[in-house]
Amino acid sequence: MVARIWTVGLQGIEGYRMSVECDLSGGLPAFDIVGLPDASVREARERVRSALKNKGLEFPLRRITVNLAPADTKKAGALYDLPILLSLLVASGQVEGDFSKVAFIGEVSLDGNLRPVRGALPAALAARAEGFQAIFVPADNAGEAALAGEGIRVYGVSSVDELADIFRGKRKPARAVPAEITAPDYTGMDFSEVKGQQNAKRACEIAAAGGHNLLFSGPPGAGKSMLAKRIASILPEMTPEEALETTKIYSVAGLTGREQPLICKRPFRAPHHTLSPVSLAGGGSDLRPGEISLAHNGVLFLDEFPEFSRTALEVLRQPLEDGVVTISRASGTVQYPCRFMLVGAMNPCRCGWFGHPSGRCTCSRAAVESYRRHVSGPMLDRIDIFVDVPEVSFTEITSKSGGQTSAEIRARVDKARKIQAERLKGTGVHCNAYLPQAMIERYCALGEGEKALLRLAFEKLNLSARSYTRILKVARTIADLDGSERILSVHISEALQYRPPQF
């Protein structure tokens, strides 16, 4: 008899319907898995054999053929253990039932318990979209899979005998409850802990309000990394849709679990500058998401910006523009979303003290130039706000309070974001940083006085056409923070402060 059990295959954060067929026939005992399984899927044979034995179920001593269909896509991962095991139980008559509207995923351990798998949420969402009424997942994945919503019943099981008992009618399955969105906790990561640096804090507020990319430059120990780490705390709280989308990526990367089934806190990723382009963009044999996708809906912080390899920075360019990254390898092609705020930090030169009043910089002019040239022009073009972070004075560092808290700043950011959302409704753009050229003309129109001011700045400061749109977008955000419908001269003057240093 041929048994058929349904499961879900994953491609990136999307899933598709897959079936596991099991046939038992006479002949010498054997166990074959066909349908382009990779080594991890083939090893299911050993896990399934031991799990059955150790839970007092029977491993049929027949010729077993398991087929994973569709047969022309490559299968990887341990999530098919459970459907393979169940198909064996059904084919050998140990359990029976109607399995036509139910999907199963789960990794089986040798002792017959279920281990969590990567991608439980995307799998549950795919099962729902494919019209399944229920999905069985390992208990540790249940809270996460239940986030798929009302359209599908999610059951968590902890062992293979529990599953067998459910389909033998001896036990009722427990329906999983979805993990709840909780307000993110930023204790120990608050802006009020950063003393002084009013100018840099203001730049952070503007960047957060308009979704602008930001680059800090300053001497060692001025607080650049400190500021960057706190930017996520002033971004608006994630909407349920954003939380779900980010969770899907973390789920596929294997970073969710029983303790953290739902990502409610905006991600802050700070990869080291020695990381490879693959870990930055994603890839590898199993096509995992990279740092840029793990930063989706949050902040990607590149500390020591010029130390990142040119190839790594070049890899960032396209995703920064599109908000999605496409990864192609021999094992397939996947797309991951990656809309993040880029925050960079750098010293003005290799020793870090160029331009410091003490004159302690030891770099030659040529060395300073060469250090700065490491950051490619096209990368700089994608940064809207450049901010100098000078050393903090003794008075500032010893002062009791560092000023406003993240919550206070976030309230203003929220307000400015709402104004943008209202203005950009139906355009597909959600904040000023992403305004395309045509919309800049429409939404950043200037009066005569403001135009004159900008013209003067252009002539005096030798600005390029690129800086022109950048200044307009930043000025738009400053006006929004100010609650002003029109961009005024004060907004433009402030935006002019955040120009790139003359490299």
Ligand X SMILES: Nc1ncnc2c1ncn2[C@@H]1O[C@H](COP(=O)(O)OP(=O)(O)OP(=O)(O)O)[C@@H](O)[C@H]1O
Q: Residues in the site for ligand X, rule: CB under 6 A?
A: 194-197, 218, 220-226, 345, 347, 392, 397
Q: Round to whole Å and give the CA distance between 368 and 357.
A: 16
Least gap, CB of 177 to Mg ion (angstroms) = 42
Per the CB < 8 A criterion, the answer to whether 493 and 380 are in contact is: no
Nearest residue relative to ligand X (C-beta): 223
Least gap, CB of 397 to ligand X (angstroms) = 6
Q: Round to whole Å and give the CA distance between 221 and 355.
A: 15
- Residue 331's binding partner among Mg ion, ligand X, none (Cβ under 5 to 8 angstroms by kind) is none
* Segment lying near Mg ion (by CB under 5 A), choices 95-103, 187-195, 225-233, 470-478: 225-233
DSSP bridge partners of 156: 137
User: Toward Mg ion, which CB reaches closer, 11 or 225?
Assistant: 225
Least gap, CB of 219 to ligand X (angstroms) = 7
Per the CB < 8 A criterion, the answer to whether 70 and 97 are in contact is: no
User: Toward ligand X, which CB reaches closer, 246 or 347?
Assistant: 347
SS3 108: strand
User: Toward ligand X, which CB reaches closer, 224 or 269?
Assistant: 224
Q: Round to whole Å and give the CA distance between 377 and 127.
A: 45
Least gap, CB of 227 to Mg ion (angstroms) = 9
- Residue 226's binding partner among Mg ion, ligand X, none (Cβ under 5 to 8 angstroms by kind) is ligand X
Given the structure tokens 């709402």, which residue do they identify?
418
Give which of 386, 188, 213 is closest to 301, Cα–Cα. 213
User: Toward Mg ion, which CB reaches closer, 80 or 386?
Assistant: 386
Give which of 409, 430, 412, 423 is closest to 485, Cα–Cα. 423
Least gap, CB of 362 to ligand X (angstroms) = 16
Least gap, CB of 216 to ligand X (angstroms) = 7
User: Toward ligand X, which CB reaches closer, 193 or 286?
Assistant: 193
User: Toward ligand X, which CB reaches closer, 205 or 480?
Assistant: 205
Q: What are the distances in angstroms from CA 463 to CA 146, 226, 384, 405, 459?
A: 53, 31, 14, 35, 7
User: Toward Mg ion, which CB reaches closer, 73 or 225?
Assistant: 225
Least gap, CB of 222 to Mg ion (angstroms) = 9
* Segment lying near Mg ion (by CB under 5 A), choices 132-140, 201-209, 222-230, 273-281: 222-230
* Segment lying near Mg ion (by CB under 5 A), choices 53-61, 148-156, 218-226, 387-395: 218-226
Q: Which two tokens mark 115? A: 């281990």
CA neighbours closer than 13 Å in the CB half-sphere of residue 269: 25
User: Toward ligand X, which CB reaches closer, 222 or 252?
Assistant: 222
Q: Round to whole Å and give the CA distance between 57 and 4.
A: 19
Least gap, CB of 226 to Mg ion (angstroms) = 8
User: Toward ligand X, which CB reaches closer, 91 or 194?
Assistant: 194
- Residue 48's binding partner among Mg ion, ligand X, none (Cβ under 5 to 8 angstroms by kind) is none
Give which of 212, 236, 215, 230 is closest to 477, Cα–Cα. 212
* Segment lying near Mg ion (by CB under 5 A), choices 44-52, 118-126, 152-160, 219-227: 219-227
Q: Which two tokens mark 296? A: 């989706």
Give which of 79, 62, 5, 68 is closest to 34, Cα–Cα. 68
**Residue selected from 50, 225, 469, 484 as contacting Mg ion according to rule CB under 5 A:** 225
Q: Round to whole Å and give the CA distance between 426 and 92.
A: 56
- Residue 196's binding partner among Mg ion, ligand X, none (Cβ under 5 to 8 angstroms by kind) is ligand X
Per the CB < 8 A criterion, the answer to whether 218 and 388 are in contact is: yes
User: SS3 string of 81-97?
Assistant: HHHHHHHHHHHCCCCCC
Least gap, CB of 221 to Mg ion (angstroms) = 8
* Segment lying near Mg ion (by CB under 5 A), choices 147-155, 220-228, 308-316, 429-437: 220-228
- Residue 413's binding partner among ligand X, Mg ion, none (Cβ under 5 to 8 angstroms by kind) is none
| Run of H or E residues at 65 | strand 63-69
First to last CA, the chain: 74
Task: Using CB under 5 A, list all residues that contact Mg ion.
Answer: 225
